Amino acid sequence: MKAEIIAVGTELLMGETQDTNSSWIGSRLPEVGLELHWVTIVGDNIDELTDILARAWERSDVVLTMGGLGPTMDDLTRDGIAGMLKETITTDPGLKAWLEDSFARRNMNPMPQQNLRQAGIIPSASSIHNSLGTAPSWWIERDGKILATMPGPPRELTNMWSTEIAPRLKERIPGNVIMSRMFKTIGLSEAAVDEMVGELYQMPGMDFGVYAKPDGIYVRAIAKAQTEAEVLSTLQAAETKIRAALDEYIWGTDEDLPAVVVGQLLRERGYKLAVLESCTGGMLGGAITDIEGSSDYFVGGAITYSSDLKVQAGVPAATIDDFGAVSEETAIAMAEAARRTYGTECGIGVTGVAGPDDQGDIKAGTVFIGVSHPGGTSVKEHRFPSRRPLVRNRAVTAALLQLASALRSH
Amino acid sequence: MKAEIIAVGTELLMGETQDTNSSWIGSRLPEVGLELHWVTIVGDNIDELTDILARAWERSDVVLTMGGLGPTMDDLTRDGIAGMLKETITTDPGLKAWLEDSFARRNMNPMPQQNLRQAGIIPSASSIHNSLGTAPSWWIERDGKILATMPGPPRELTNMWSTEIAPRLKERIPGNVIMSRMFKTIGLSEAAVDEMVGELYQMPGMDFGVYAKPDGIYVRAIAKAQTEAEVLSTLQAAETKIRAALDEYIWGTDEDLPAVVVGQLLRERGYKLAVLESCTGGMLGGAITDIEGSSDYFVGGAITYSSDLKVQAGVPAATIDDFGAVSEETAIAMAEAARRTYGTECGIGVTGVAGPDDQGDIKAGTVFIGVSHPGGTSVKEHRFPSRRPLVRNRAVTAALLQLASALRSH
């Protein structure tokens, strides 16, 4: 079935706010049996909004709007829908009471008069409360079509989607249970992964996709069937085959992040981690501490951007003198110094040339990553495309996945 | 004049690639005298693409397409435009020669047969070479309208826009020279900034906007006039008034980033910087070293996620015992320890509770930032909204701007 997204807001057209919602919803639509055909961003202009709503209502089975549900006069999504469906907005007493209650609970009493706009509804819509904000959603089923409004702030939108909109859509889209699973690999090229899963492409009821991402190659398995039991068993069969083909390269699934995977492995083993970072300048520590509770296994480390600081943090001066600050030997010495200096079981050392300029003989994009743990120390050389932000981001991901792989095989 | 963007590609609808191009172009259209009314994302589907092209051609003065210019059979932008305008694509000998030459220069000889598709053109289009890729742009003027195609990869698109498309548009959109300048402030609320620049709103030929951003409140001044000299003088007059009202709060303009501003100030003074980071876990160092050439003024520092590491990096144990790891006193001690331990003129110390949970009595979102330089040491307490990524990002920005402000007034 065809779905369409309409994102409302002049700030999206001015480039002041990036529309990240459409892509987030877009990646989730296959799981409710919908195929996204159009995304339109339109400003706070009632004629243009009503026009695109009418067109969407005509050509799509499910229309999802985002934004424009606030209390001010330029929040026009409700008016646009009412106009398009030729229905009249009236104040819903239940919604009004819920809104007043929301404001009272936040000690904002009385509710500003203009928020009453958010209690408006049309006859063919039912309302869905928003547990994270004051903008309720409308859910409309008419003429064999579905239209749902969602609030614009990403936290409110993702919550509304997951708890309210997606379950309703799954219920109403018949004969189409769809589930997907993402397998995240590292260490193989896109072509190699494609070849290894190629024979699965004939599995009935399954679709596969292979994608190159900054943290490796992903394989997405999408199963479709009439019942949930059927879809689960198809997906399980696909997973067994994918794991047989790619097991040693898979570092995570679905929402897994490298820093989360490393954190779990460290926690399971009761190990602590310290880092010594040169070209990543603190980004590796930043990625590790993005994760809540990372203080359970991460103690910190040093940003050794200058050679002096490397020595101060425990790297033998002779290693740097003999092999250079950007070398296998220095990366190993950094990983081992991290463990020794900070008294941890695991250490990571990252040294490289982020660029854009080469450093003497060493090409921009060259990064050495050393990983040390109770089972030993290993080092890898990487040659990333020589764009500075890319080099640094890839180096962080590679360092985390190198430690994860070392811990797993230990 | 009305502009419209059409972004082409099924990967954009699947949520596999985020469309960042539209927002980038959207923020630049006012400067060429265009107002963006619609952005549509459409898949690699010839009927749907042709349909939206026809609609855009009808309702907008300038249509910009992005993507779908590759060599494969699902790169359909050229075919869609030809179909919409009822013109026929033929191979352009000049384009063909240019493409073959591009491949030869990359030692890819002969050119793959399918790339010949990229040498196709219609009678009403002229071609624009792409210096960063193999997809040339089409530039079409017909029926009083303009249509330009741009390649999808962001590097190629931004280059094509700045060097080719924007200059052509500026030339052709008459009587409308538009220039804008962004002033970035910190330390005032959105309402306070709005009030202070409020009296400027009546300046003839000027538009103003006030925006809340993670790194402070921005004021955008947009000047419109018939000639470039006129627009420059209007903008200059506006800048003088804005600086008179906000000078001490302005930390940068236009594309300035906090880390760039700090880097310039350090470089001018010949100072070096070291950091001690707790709740930001390395992100501050990461932000500083995002900037090319930062090794000229940044030596590194320590990620002191645990209290032991703070002491190891030179923070007196007594300070932590007496006042706690998250306190004004510890932030000051961290900034001073950074200077002392790493032998630099400047030091920053960041300690706080990133959350989501409170830490004893200290609420999540509380961050203390100490800044030390040859003119003295200062500390600030911040209470950010208690969402972990937001707390950490705000803390990085606040730390950089606090050092910039201290250096400037020294």
User: What is the tens place of the pLDDT at every residue in A247-265?
Assistant: 889 999 988 999 999 999 9
Confidence of residue B191 (pLDDT cuts 50, 70, 90): confident
Total residue count of chain B as it appears in this document? 410
What angle is formed at CA A188 by the lines to CA A182 and CA A193, rounded to 5 degrees? 55
CB B1 within 8 A of CB B62: yes
> Are B37 and A42 a contacting pair at CB < 8 A?
yes
In which element (H, E) is residue A42 found?
strand A35-42
Region A176-194 average pLDDT: 84
> Are A23 and B40 a contacting pair at CB < 8 A?
no
* Highest-pLDDT range among B36-45, B199-208, B210-219: B36-45
First CA to last CA distance, chain B: 48
Which residue, among B305, B312, B344, would best test binding to A if mutated, counting the most A CBs under 10 Å from its CB?
B305
First CA to last CA distance, chain A: 48
Please tell me which of the candidates A22, A283, A289 has its beta carbon nearest to residue B305. Answer: A289
Region A52-61 average pLDDT: 97
> Are B286 and A290 a contacting pair at CB < 8 A?
no
pLDDT (0 to 100) of residue B399: 97
**Percent of chain A at pLDDT exceeding 90:** 71
Report the chain B residue with the minimal C-alpha distance to residue A274.
B303
pLDDT at A175 over 70: no
Please tell me which of the candidates A14, A300, A392 has its beta carbon nearest to residue B306. Answer: A300
Region B110-117 average pLDDT: 85
pLDDT at B175 over 70: no
* Residue that is written with structure tokens 């989501």 in the block: B356
Q: What ipTM does the predicted assembly reach?
A: 0.80
Round to whole Å and give the CA distance between B269 and B308. Answer: 33
CB A110 within 8 A of CB A103: yes
Region A114-141 average pLDDT: 94
Round to whole Å and give the CA distance between A347 and A355. Answer: 25
pLDDT at B201 over 90: no
pLDDT at A331 over 90: yes
Q: Does A20 touch chain B (CB under 8 A)?
A: yes
Neighbours of A135 (CB within 10 A): 26
CA-to-CA dists, residue A27 to A241, A356, B11, B12, B67, angstroms: 24, 34, 10, 9, 19
Q: Which of residues 38-97 of A touch B (CB under 8 A)?
A: 38-43, 45, 48, 52
* pLDDT tens-digit series, residues B252-282: 998 899 999 999 999 999 999 999 999 999 9
Q: What is the mean pLDDT of chain A?
A: 92
Region B60-77 average pLDDT: 93
pLDDT (0 to 100) of residue A67: 95
Region A100-129 average pLDDT: 88
CB B342 within 8 A of CB B380: no
The region of weakest confidence among A175-184, A314-323, B70-79, B362-371 is A175-184
Q: Does A10 touch chain B (CB under 8 A)?
A: no
Please tell me which of the candidates A19, A39, A388 has its beta carbon nearest to residue B292. Answer: A388
Amino acid found at B409: S
Neighbours of B196 (CB within 10 A): 18
Neighbours of B39 (CB within 10 A): 28
pLDDT (0 to 100) of residue B209: 80
Which residue, among A8, A12, A23, A344, would best test binding to B if mutated, counting the most B CBs under 10 Å from its CB?
A23
Q: Which neighbouring-strand residues pair with A220?
A: A182, A209
pLDDT at B106 over 80: no
Q: Does B342 touch chain A (CB under 8 A)?
A: yes
pLDDT (0 to 100) of residue B32: 86
| C-alpha dihedral (A164, A169, A172, A178), degrees to nearest 10 | -130
Please tell me which of the candidates B211, B277, B282 has its beta carbon nearest to residue A16. Answer: B211
Buried b (16+ CB within 10 A) or exposed e, A142-173: eeeebbbbbbbbeebbbbbbeebbbeebeeeb
pLDDT (0 to 100) of residue B275: 98
Region A356-382 average pLDDT: 95
Q: Read off the pTM.
A: 0.80
Confidence of residue A288 (pLDDT cuts 50, 70, 90): very high
| C-alpha dihedral (B108, B109, B112, B113), degrees to nearest 10 | 160
Q: Does B104 touch chain A (CB under 8 A)?
A: no
pLDDT (0 to 100) of residue A58: 97
Write down all domains in chain A, each with its CATH number in brackets. Answer: 2-172 (3.40.980.10), 177-253 (3.30.70.2860), 258-408 (3.90.950.20)
Round to whole Å and give the CA distance between B200 and A226. Answer: 64
* pLDDT tens-digit series, residues B310-349: 999 999 999 999 999 999 999 999 999 999 999 999 999 9
Amino acid found at A295: S
Which residue, among B2, B303, B315, would best test binding to A if mutated, counting the most A CBs under 10 Å from its CB?
B303
The token pair at B338 is 């950074």
Q: Does B163 touch chain A (CB under 8 A)?
A: no
Region B365-375 average pLDDT: 97
**Burial class of residue A216 in the structure, from the number of CB atoms within 10 Å of its CB (0-12 exposed, 13-18 middle, 19+ buried):** buried
B263 against A194, higher pLDDT:
B263
Phi/psi-derived region of residue A295, left when phi > 0, alpha when psi is between -120 and 50, beta in every other case: alpha
pLDDT (0 to 100) of residue B309: 94
In angstroms, the separation between the Cα of residue B275 and the nearest Cα of chain A is 9
Round to whole Å and give the CA distance between A392 and A398. Answer: 10
pLDDT (0 to 100) of residue A240: 95
